Amino acid sequence: MSTANISSPHSSIQDFGHAVGPSVKTQRILALILLLCQAGITVSGSIVRVTGSGLGCVTWPNCHPGSLVPLEGAAPLVHQVIEFGNRLLTFVVGAAAVATIVAMHKSKRRTELKVYAWLGLAGIVVQALIGALSVFLKLSWWSVAIHFLPSMVLVWIAAMLYSRIAEPDDGIPTRVFPTAIRTLAVIAAVALSIVLLTGTFVTGSGTHSGDAGVGMEGRLGVDTYGMAVIHAICMYVYLALTLIMVFLLHRSSAPKAAKNAGWVLIMCIVVQWAIGVAQFYLHIPRWTVPFHVGMSSVVTAFTALLWAHGRRRVDARDVHSLDGEPTTKR
């Protein structure tokens, strides 16, 4: 199998002949808004946790029994406002997802894009239900963990949608990365998943339970220091894999955009590493947690964008074989 050299995969944003519906530029803007919303709500969720506002609303879908909105005196007002505000953001994210779905259908885009858009909306519904579960379980560590991890999946999906929209629906599916790099990308993605998972273990064993009244009840019974070390080791493995992958990209004929995406990803990982180190030596001050969670979304998004570069739909005129053999299609 040969690797394709794409001369201009994103030389311009075209409408690909669609006579109806939003332009490709508008579609990408909507997808970017959805991506930012998916990442943003993870940050607001972390603010809920570090401010101890997780039970500012004690039930679901109501905030308090018999009341959809906060009630004076039912709980500290600031906690109610933060938790209720986070719930309201779910509707903002949902609206962004619906707008993206409508854009994909009105523009008659290919099935792949519609699936990504619908998965985004379905994931939001699932996340709302998991959030309700975590409230009913009084913020048990594992319920909070499974509330965070799907958020990263939704960020990945939104990033893939944003990237794929720019590709022509009738383009040729073309493998851009050599097999070795593609395999390494799979391993790196698995490593990222383990980094995120061990991060939830650090959080689950730490002091930020999400509500002052909960304290350490229901927390993960492992040594936070030891788990933080394991989390750090997993991160170093992920960084090493990414560095090797980017090095190999530069030795290959991969497009410049893919190489640049790799370097941006490495810079994001380094920033995330610096925040994690600061948390470790400062004993996880509250103000660092939203930054760390936010950067988790950024790293996940750029990992997805780099992954997307590995296989592209391109115009036949932009596909050239490196070795004179037919270009591999998948």
Q: What is the C-alpha separation between 116 and 7, in angstroms, rounded?
A: 27
> Alpha helix (H) ranges present in the chain?
24-50, 77-106, 111-136, 141-165, 179-205, 224-251, 256-282, 288-309
Amino acid 143: pLDDT: 81
What are the residue boundaries of the structural domains of the chain, listed by start? 22-321
Amino acid 91: pLDDT: 95
Amino acid 195: pLDDT: 96
Q: What is the C-alpha separation between 35 and 20, in angstroms, rounded?
A: 24
> Which contiguous run of DSSP H or E holds residue 215?
none
Amino acid 317: pLDDT: 65
Sites in the chain below the pLDDT cut of 70 = 1-19, 206-219, 221, 316-330
**Which residues does 26 contact at the CB level (< 8 Å), separation at least 6?**
103
